Structure 1
Amino acid sequence: MVGSSRSHIMFQLRQATRYELEPLRSGGARWAMTVFIAVLVLALTAETGADATRNEAGVPWVDSTDNWGLPWGDAASGFYGRLEDQRRALAAQGVATERIEFAVGTESSLRKVFRPKLWFKGDFSGSVKLDAARGEHEAFQLVICPIADSERALSHLSAEKDQGHATFTAKSVSIKAIEMSPLRHVAGEFEIAADRWTLDRVGYVRTVQPQYPVMNVGEWPDPLLPLGTPFEVSNPDCQPVWVEIEVPRDAPSGRYHGQLTVKGPHDVRIAIEVVVRDFALPARPLISMGWSLHAWFGRDGVDMLLKRLEVLLEHRLAPWHTAYGHHGKLEDHDRVMAFLLERGVRLQATSGKPPAEFVAHLREKGWLKHYITLWGDEPHERDYPTYRQRTEEIHRDYPGLTVAMTEEPGPHNRGLFDLWIAEPTAQKDAWVRDAIERGDRVWWYLCQLPIHAEFDGPIHACPGMVVDRPAIDHRITYWFAFRQGIEGVSYWAVSKWPAGFEKWPAEPWPVNPISKFPYSGQHNANGFLCYPGSDGMPWPSIRLKCMRDGLEDQEYLSLLRAGAGSSPSPTVRRLLDVPPELAIGLRYYNKDPRVLLDVRRQVADAIEGLQEQFH
């Protein structure tokens, strides 16, 4: 292990204690496990010189800045200032300051939580409030922070040196369980059962310096792992847990109260309030699409393929080519296609010109309207004659089959394709409006680096799907898509995992290689939205969760537009146009998650107001 980084060593230690020693839970076995861990820590420290006071680059943490650019001392002052709220909350729960072993904060699903606990900027008040429609998923994050004896009484006014160094005091805490209560309606007997909650442990992937500006180079939160209690959290780190509820479609509107309990050396209770809106999301959901589904999904046959796809579809993501990948065996194709259609997937795509017998089969099944053909990718203008010939060939040989292309519509290529899949960072808004007005279909695809395109500004100024971007980037795209009348949004790759992925999670997730010509540059975690779980199922990512939230936001806006009709009020019109305090354009949008959530609440209020008006 000589030369291994601290994070890599600690990752291996966590995996050893989490997986290898899982059966050792009682009596002498537990004592043996404790001794083994202690010996392993000493051995790793001696061998690698691992030092908790320094970051991955070897820089002392106290000389570094956090992901917002705050000096370490200011981050520490803010953390211990907010910790005063936790002390008050725990005192009300019967946990005196001198007994505190760990604290539990909460954070929005729209703010990524990094490992160093002093970087945490969320809430320690001991309560959280969610707002959701029936049929909607809504989430927040628990953030578990070990508290050493020397940290218990620190406050905003404590000595700066004490604040800056206390987090390096050795401290580990074992979290035995996280228990969720049912949610009870405040004015009735209805309960939302505890099994409507899901909890996932937030994992991290390592990033390197990319060619675009970032807030942090190092570990970024993304994979969502099974909770797997008990688990350890050690200074100077924290451990976020993704907590998500799916609101039942039969839940009466109103306020619901419940709580969760984090059980460790003492309990920490978090009060939960969920406001269920008096409307439901559509039963037939909007779905994002994506290319590059890894062979891992289908390696165990069609049955397992469908089970793995179910995880993606729960998050409103479907691969473009899944059904067509089985066109050589029509029985399997039809089974996959029927599965996708039943779950609301509207389109599938061929790769190149499909065989005539396959198109005939689609006609017979009535599925031709659910297919597009993609014969190429991101064409350069020099290649237009070839692409025009291909489009004419498809129209001649297979009337009714839609020809699509990853290209922006413009006055120079009118009529070249039936369906445009434009990269929003490169699109010309006026050209897209013109295409839609003349009846062309327009989708978006997010790829971070489109080629053969002209840009009006830097790519990185637009929302991005790489891992080292703010969470709001992965969600706000759908507000823009609604405003511009885009038919659907897709991502260039569902699971184009980098080489070495099969060693995860026993080893850290591999860094993406540098993109090769004609694509270029270093893009961190670009090309996948899920991870291959050790249980044989795909594990979701924070990015995938935020994308689904964006689709749900888009459905809010669609419901408001449908309810308002052709003559919306000025207030509703402003919301449908996306208010300027949230976004002006693709390169000018508000990265404060509180603003997006506030506008979303305004949209929900307006939907309910229209329902009251007409009923």
Structure 2
Amino acid sequence: MISLLRVPLIKTLLVIALMFFVTGDIFAEQHLYGLHHSAFEPSGEDFKTSNKTTKAAVLTGNGLHGSVGSIDQRYAKGRLPELESPTNQWSGTAWRGERVYAQLVLFSKEPVRQLRMEPTAMVSKDGDSLGDGSLNANFVRYVLAAETLYPDILDPVERLNLAANTTRPVWVTMEVPRDAKPGHYSGKVAVKAAGNVRLDFTFKLEVLPLTLPAPKDWKFHLDLWQNPFAVARWHRVEPWSDEHFRLMEPYWRMLAEAGQKCLTVSLFHHPWGAQVYDGFEEMVTWTRKSDGTWEYDFSILDKYVAFAERVGLDDQINCYSMIPWTNSFRYIDAKSGDWKDVGAIAGNPAYEEIWGPFLKALEQHSKEKGWGGRLTIAIDERGEKQVLAATGILKKYAPSIQLSSASNHPPSDFTINDWSSTFGTSVDPNMVQERNSRGLKTTFYVCCNPTRPNTFTFSPPAESAWMGLYAAAQNRSGFLRWAYNSWNENPFYDTKYWPQVWAAGDCFMIYPGPRSSIRFERLREGIQDYEKIYILRKLAAKQLNDPRVKKAVKELDAALAVIDHQSVTNNTAASVQVKDVNVSILQLSRLVICPSSLVQSL
């Protein structure tokens, strides 16, 4: 018996010793060369790709190799990349105020140490510059999704090592200032490694004389739900402390720079139950006094809204929820000092007894804070009967507070100011048009379904960009996604959340740091396209006497007409549709005349 136990014990001790030896060497290298801890990745099988012929074989000699790749392609870590035409040249076009993307793919049969990038600014032949940081590059890091490795994280690590027979994607971002001079610009990204190894990549960008508004002024209604409690847990700080707000700031600014319109507020403990790793806690403390009356502490809510306004989220305040998933509400019993729970279902007398006084207090507090029409009571995926009951109580006690709802049943009237339908739900386009004419918002959302299109870690990247084009094609106001940053225990390792069955990446689109992702940046790309379409339609409407403009508008309409809830039937469908629409956008962009007086009126 003892001899049987000794063998595995010795093996375990040897493995632990080896781990200390290896990781000790790695950490020493980090300290010496500035390598970042995020260079470490989980191990796992690569995802499957097509068996099409690749020209990568011409680049498989010893040493570091690289090429410009496609932003629609995910490159497997343990295989040579599929490259139709290996090149070190990239070219594209952009509006002023636009963010444009490219992807490089690096690979080697031998180990490459101290891999790093050195981008230049983008300048024209006349010496005009798009500014420092106009050309930027991040290594793409791999994470697990469905027990398979996928590239997703855009990591700011300065250096990393490339193991033998592996691939490393690099995400390249080009930022065009809104005041940039139209013209042709170029810049370089030098990829260097130890031993005087160097690869140079050239980026040429034509800046057109059209300008996107600042993200806060975009028409697109973006609603990605934020989780401040995940930030507190990951960074090990007390929720709502000064340090917590300091750490949240770059995450929320990143979201504001994507045109986010809504702040996610939890009125009480766990409005969605325990569906995420970091449950949402109350931002308003409810206390029931000994005489049965209620007292409400809004101090956390006030601090949170003030913080959001400071970082650029100063539009809609969505308060969840009058109908929690558990139909249970938590409060402090003043007499005992204990937390207590009370159950109440919308439509029952007890429900109105709880919510009537609170809604009156919330409306009065909103007026005192000057929040005006920004505050909404938000309801998520509740039955129509309950929604109607809650709506009646809201309008009875707090008529100035708006209502927002995400559901798979269309609203029976126009009392819901912001309605988001489940992707694929049959929605009458006449109703959408009527809501638009009334100034109401009608968006759509994806969540744990459908399988495609979606923004999962394993979803084809173009599907994220496709969301903005779907909104444009279907006359929708924007897009909702239930989780911006509800991380699991270790999002750098696996993007799936257990014990729930949510698909990998369903709970979050960015990573701690904050680190952006391919998915998030492609979503932002699609939102920019939505804005372009809106502006181009306005400009073209005044120039339809030009037959070229009229023809280009028809071609844009035809490209968008293909896009509906059934058009993404395989892994390449979204990519094809996004490319087709962008060809039409570019063609119309080159034709329309954009006087400054017209831009100001859009």
Question: Same fold per TM (> 0.5)?
Answer: yes
CA contact (8 A) 2:403 2:416 kept: yes
User: How many angstroms apart in 1 are the aligned matches of 2:177 and 2:27?
Assistant: 34
One-letter code of the match for 1:553? Answer: D
One-letter code of the match for 2:68? Answer: T
1:67 pairs with one of 25, 48, 54: 48
- The answer for the alignment partner of 2:76 in structure 1 is 114
CA contact (8 A) 2:418 2:441 kept: yes
* Backbone CA RMSD of aligned residues: 3.6
1:351 pairs with one of 320, 332, 348: 320
Deviation at residue 15 of structure 1 after TM alignment: 7.3
1:24 corresponds to 2:32? yes
Q: 1:261 to 1:307 in 2, by over 3 A?
A: closer
2:119 pairs with one of 180, 183, 191: 180
- The answer for the alignment partner of 1:544 in structure 2 is 520
Deviation at residue 395 of structure 1 after TM alignment: 0.8
User: How many angstroms apart in 2 are the aligned matches of 1:15 and 1:185?
Assistant: 46
2:245 pairs with one of 302, 309, 315: 302
User: How many angstroms apart in 2 are the aligned matches of 1:17 and 1:318?
Assistant: 46
Deviation at residue 437 of structure 1 after TM alignment: 6.4
Write the deviation string for residues 45-104 of structure 1: whole angstroms up to 9, x where unpaired: xxxxx9xxxx956xxx9xxxx73331xxx55x53215x39xxxxxxxxxxxx7xx51111
- The answer for the alignment partner of 1:421 in structure 2 is 420
- The answer for the alignment partner of 1:129 in structure 2 is 91
- The answer for the alignment partner of 2:510 in structure 1 is 530
Q: 1:612 to 1:563 in 2, by over 3 A?
A: closer
- The answer for the alignment partner of 1:293 in structure 2 is 227
Deviation at residue 14 of structure 1 after TM alignment: 9.5
1:368-407 → structure 2 map (5 Å cutoff):
368-375=372-379, 377-380=380-383, 384-407=384-407
User: How many angstroms apart in 2 are the aligned matches of 1:438 and 1:174?
Assistant: 59
Q: 1:366 to 1:573 in 2, by over 3 A?
A: farther
1:585 pairs with one of 558, 564, 567: 564
1:268 corresponds to 2:199? yes
1:242-261 → structure 2 map (5 Å cutoff):
242-261=171-190
Residue aligned with 2:394, SS = helix
Q: 1:132 to 1:410 in 2, by over 3 A?
A: same
- The answer for the alignment partner of 1:321 in structure 2 is 264
Residue aligned with 1:400, SS = coil
Residue aligned with 2:559, SS = coil
2:134 pairs with one of 196, 207, 211: 196
User: How many angstroms apart in 1 are the aligned matches of 2:464 and 2:511?
Assistant: 17
CA contact (8 A) 1:409 1:432 kept: no
Deviation at residue 339 of structure 1 after TM alignment: 5.1
Deviation at residue 128 of structure 1 after TM alignment: 0.9
One-letter code of the match for 2:156? Answer: P
Q: 1:347 to 1:272 in 2, by over 3 A?
A: same
1:278 corresponds to 2:209? yes
Write the deviation string for residues 362-413 of structure 1: whole angstroms up to 9, x where unpaired: 22344231122124x2133xxx3332121011011111222221124548x4
Q: 1:348 to 1:560 in 2, by over 3 A?
A: same
CA contact (8 A) 1:105 1:144 kept: yes
User: How many angstroms apart in 1 are the aligned matches of 2:163 and 2:119?
Assistant: 24
Deviation at residue 204 of structure 1 after TM alignment: 1.5
Deviation at residue 576 of structure 1 after TM alignment: 4.8
User: How many angstroms apart in 1 are the aligned matches of 2:19 and 2:413?
Assistant: 53
Residue aligned with 2:205, SS = strand
Query: Which range is displaced more, 420-429 or 259-268?
Result: 420-429
Query: Which range is displaced more, 481-490 or 321-330?
Result: 321-330
One-letter code of the match for 1:199? Answer: A
Deviation at residue 331 of structure 1 after TM alignment: 5.9
User: How many angstroms apart in 1 are the aligned matches of 2:557 and 2:19?
Assistant: 46
One-letter code of the match for 1:527? Answer: C
User: How many angstroms apart in 1 are the aligned matches of 2:375 and 2:587?
Assistant: 38
User: How many angstroms apart in 2 are the aligned matches of 1:277 and 1:14?
Assistant: 51
Deviation at residue 308 of structure 1 after TM alignment: 3.0
- The answer for the alignment partner of 2:538 in structure 1 is 562
Residue aligned with 1:118, SS = coil
Residue aligned with 1:179, SS = strand
What residue ranges of structure 1 are gaps of 5+ in the alignment? Answer: 5-9, 31-49, 85-96, 149-170, 209-216, 450-458, 516-520
1:402-551 → structure 2 map (5 Å cutoff):
402-410=402-410, 413-414=412-413, 417-430=416-429, 433=432, 436=435, 439=438, 441-449=441-449, 459-460=450-451, 462-498=452-488, 500-501=489-490, 505=492, 508-509=493-494, 511-513=496-498, 515=500, 523-532=503-512, 537-551=513-527
Q: 1:108 to 1:338 in 2, by over 3 A?
A: farther
Deviation at residue 109 of structure 1 after TM alignment: 2.4
1:205 pairs with one of 143, 150, 153: 143
Deviation at residue 203 of structure 1 after TM alignment: 1.2
Residue aligned with 2:464, SS = helix
User: How many angstroms apart in 2 are the aligned matches of 1:425 and 1:561?
Assistant: 26
User: How many angstroms apart in 2 are the aligned matches of 1:603 and 1:12?
Assistant: 55
Write the deviation string for residues 93-148 of structure 1: whole angstroms up to 9, x where unpaired: xxxx7xx51111112323222213424336521111132111111111121111x4
Q: 1:585 to 1:552 in 2, by over 3 A?
A: same
- The answer for the alignment partner of 1:235 in structure 2 is 164
Deviation at residue 470 of structure 1 after TM alignment: 0.5
One-letter code of the match for 2:227? Answer: L
Q: 1:481 to 1:292 in 2, by over 3 A?
A: same
Q: 1:612 to 1:287 in 2, by over 3 A?
A: closer
Q: Percent identity?
A: 17
CA contact (8 A) 2:468 2:529 kept: yes
Taking structure 1 as the reference length, the TM-score comes to 0.71
User: How many angstroms apart in 2 are the aligned matches of 1:198 and 1:326?
Assistant: 38
Write the deviation string for residues 555-609 of structure 1: whole angstroms up to 9, x where unpaired: 11011012123785543433553516x8342221463636634532431342342
Q: How many residues align?
A: 495
User: How many angstroms apart in 2 are the aligned matches of 1:564 and 1:14?
Assistant: 62
CA contact (8 A) 1:479 1:578 kept: no
CA contact (8 A) 2:74 2:151 kept: yes
One-letter code of the match for 2:529? Answer: D
One-letter code of the match for 1:466? Answer: F
What residue ranges of structure 2 are gaps of 5+ in the alignment? Answer: 1-7, 13-17, 36-41, 233-238, 268-281, 286-296, 323-357, 598-602
CA contact (8 A) 2:222 2:259 kept: yes
